[in-house]
Amino acid sequence: MQCFFIQFKCNLGRAYDVAATLAEREIASEVYSTSGEYDLLAKFYLEKDTDIGHFVNEHIHPIEGVERTLTTLTFKAF
Asked if pLDDT for residue 77 goes beyond 90, the answer is no
CB-CB contact of 45 with 2 (8 Å)? yes
Q: Is the pLDDT of residue 26 over 90?
A: yes
Q: Which domains does the chain have, with CATH numbers?
A: 2-73 (3.30.70.920)
CA 43 from centre of chain: 6
pLDDT, tens digit, for every residue of 50-64? 999 999 999 999 999
Q: What is the reported pLDDT for 31?
A: 98
What's the whole-model pTM score?
0.93
Strands (E), 17-77: 30-33, 40-46, 66-73
Residue 9's nearest CA partner among 66, 71, 74 is 66
The pairing of beta strand 40-46 with beta strand 30-33 = antiparallel
Average of pLDDT values for 30-53?
Answer: 96
Mean of the pLDDT values across residues 10-37? 97
